[in-house]
């Protein structure tokens, strides 16, 4: 059998196996990306002076759960600027009427993501903001009550699985990666293994994929949390003048679920939880050497993200087909589907309350406003496995016939002759059909 013919046949079999797995039904829901803002407390670097010279002046106000205002103390003539968002979380001081804890985020964001995942919808939440603004705290968090969205969502996922009706089955795969200096690193790879060069690819059926990235099958919450702890330890983190534990890479945790209930279509989903590295200014972080190179790579990818969002937001206004530069950054290429495709996406903008960070905070709020205009096309990923199995069997039988014809040309000619005689209704055909 010619190698080219075998290659085409193998490719056809692969596509047949994958066909209809992502058959979808359009959802009646708001297509816009949901944008939330969270205000953190003053941090040690601000109180002790390394970050702000010891001056802590609150420049953020939150008059309602959907509005934040930023105050400019340097210009008395400049009125406060107000910004409206889907939800605003005040975590600066506990005495505020809108004070929000880690549990608040889980109740209002995490539970909705889990509901979407269990019903076959793709999800994504990404935390954006300057360095030291509280992104990693919101996504990963600390211990016990300070746990972030990621561990809480994982715990909630297996709580949902435990409540499934009898006869229901589920499968879960998890992946954990970082984008460090525009290189994709597998955070679940063994520590002593050779570092593989991973690239983002576009698959005609599966969409954006990363061949070679570890996707671990898990059966319990403990297994997932152990993998999260392992991956977090492998991630690049360093100290700067702005942040003692500054993330030097973008981090993406993904879990894929497949849920099958009796007499119901199977539901598959993919959920991303993204902790972006923070934008930073070299003059303020006092970064040199490797830290300076890392900061440049971070800023470059965030700049590409800003241009992608700008292009998508412009398209939403003009109704013209956009042409965002997704491929100019590994981050935007991986998140392409989450930013404009099949996903229910949430952006968490983390901002500093200190007036020293006024310019960066104002920039984050303006960027968040543009994200509000971007729309996705969330669909339910449901498939009737019995019909797919029947279709796959039919396709497989057809492919077997084609393979037999390629391997035995003479038999193929005889089979074609017999079929022709059958169609013509000749004597030979009548005898053949009686056999």
User: Angle at which helices 409-424 and 385-407 pack, to 10 degrees?
Assistant: 110
**Distance from C-alpha of 200 to C-alpha of 215, rounded to nearest angstrom:** 15
Candidates 136, 266, 338, 343; catalytic one: 136
**Distance from C-alpha of 419 to C-alpha of 429, rounded to nearest angstrom:** 8
The encoded tokens of residue 189 equal 């790879």
The encoded tokens of residue 136 equal 């990693």
Q: Is 53 annotated as a binding residue?
A: no
Q: Cα torsion at 183, 139, 280, 51 (round to 10°)?
A: -140
| 231 included as an active-site residue | no
Candidates 120, 141, 231, 278; catalytic one: 278
| 134 included as an active-site residue | yes
**Distance from C-alpha of 28 to C-alpha of 378, rounded to nearest angstrom:** 9
Q: Is 134 annotated as a binding residue?
A: yes
Report in angstroms the alpha-carbon separations of 94 from 62, 91, 98, 277. 13, 7, 9, 27
Q: Which of 60, 53, 37 is nearest to 354 (CA)?
A: 60
Candidates 34, 91, 110, 132; catalytic one: 132
| 207 included as an active-site residue | no
Q: Is 293 annotated as a binding residue?
A: no
| 132 included as an active-site residue | yes
| 136 included as an active-site residue | yes
| 135 included as an active-site residue | yes
Cα 390 versus chain centre, distance: 32
Beta bridge pairs of residue 25: 380
Q: Is 120 annotated as a binding residue?
A: no
Q: Is 132 annotated as a binding residue?
A: yes
Residue 252's CB: how many other CB atoms inside 10 A?
24
No. of helices (H) and no. of strands (E), the chain: 15, 18
With beta carbons less than 8 A apart as the criterion, state whether 56 and 137 touch.
Answer: no
User: Angle at which helices 289-318 and 358-371 pack, to 10 degrees?
Assistant: 40
Candidates 120, 134, 231, 295; catalytic one: 134
| 148 included as an active-site residue | no
Q: Is 212 annotated as a binding residue?
A: no
Alpha helices in 83-203 (DSSP H): 102-105, 111-118, 135-139, 149-162
Please give the positions annotated as active site.
132, 134-137, 275, 278
Tell me the binding residues for ATP. Answer: 129-136
Q: Residues annotated in the binding site, as ranges?
A: 129-136
């Amino acid at each position: 059998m010619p190698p080219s013919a075998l290659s085409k046949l193998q490719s056809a079999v692969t596509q047949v196996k994958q066909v209809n797995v992502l058959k979808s039904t359009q959802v009646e829901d708001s297509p816009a990306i949901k944008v939330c803002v969270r205000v953190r407390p003053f941090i040690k670097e601000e109180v002790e002076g390394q970050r702000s010279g010891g001056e802590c002046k609150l420049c953020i106000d939150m008059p309602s759960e959907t509005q934040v205002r930023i105050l400019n103390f340097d210009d008395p003539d400049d009125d406060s600027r107000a910004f409206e968002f889907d939800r605003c979380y005040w975590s600066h001081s506990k005495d505020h009427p809108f004070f929000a804890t880690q549990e608040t985020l889980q109740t209002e964001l995490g539970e909705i993501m889990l509901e979407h995942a269990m019903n076959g919808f793709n999800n994504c939440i990404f935390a954006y903001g300057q360095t030291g603004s509280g992104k990693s705290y919101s996504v990963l968090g600390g211990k016990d009550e300070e746990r972030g969205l990621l561990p809480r969502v994982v715990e909630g996922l297996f709580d949902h699985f435990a409540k499934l009706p009898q006869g229901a089955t589920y499968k879960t795969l998890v992946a954990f990666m970082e984008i460090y200096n525009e290189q994709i690193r597998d955070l679940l790879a063994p520590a002593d293994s050779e570092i593989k060069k991973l690239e983002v690819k576009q698959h005609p059926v599966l969409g954006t994929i990363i061949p070679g990235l570890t996707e671990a099958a898990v059966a319990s919450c403990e297994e997932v949390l152990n993998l999260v702890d392992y991956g977090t330890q492998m991630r690049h983190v360093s100290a700067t003048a702005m942040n003692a534990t500054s993330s030097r890479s973008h981090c993406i945790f993904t879990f894929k679920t497949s849920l099958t209930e009796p007499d119901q279509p199977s539901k598959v989903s993919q959920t991303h939880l993204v902790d972006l590295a923070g934008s930073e200014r070299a003059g303020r972080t006092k970064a040199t050497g490797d830290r300076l190179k890392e900061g440049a790579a971070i800023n470059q990818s965030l700049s590409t993200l800003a241009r992608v969002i700008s292009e998508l937001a412009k398209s939403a206004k003009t109704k013209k087909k956009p042409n965002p530069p997704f491929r100019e950054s590994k981050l935007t290429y991986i998140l392409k589907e989450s930013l404009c495709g099949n996903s229910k996406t949430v952006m968490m903008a983390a901002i500093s309350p200190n007036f020293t960070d006024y310019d960066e905070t104002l920039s984050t709020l303006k960027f968040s406003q543009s994200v509000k205009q971007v729309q996705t096309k969330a669909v339910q990923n449901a498939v009737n496995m019995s019909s797919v199995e029947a279709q796959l069997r039919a396709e497989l039988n057809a492919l077997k016939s084609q393979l037999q014809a390629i391997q035995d040309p003479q038999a193929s000619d005889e089979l074609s002759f017999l079929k022709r005689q059958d169609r013509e209704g000749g004597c030979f055909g009548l005898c053949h059909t009686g056999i």
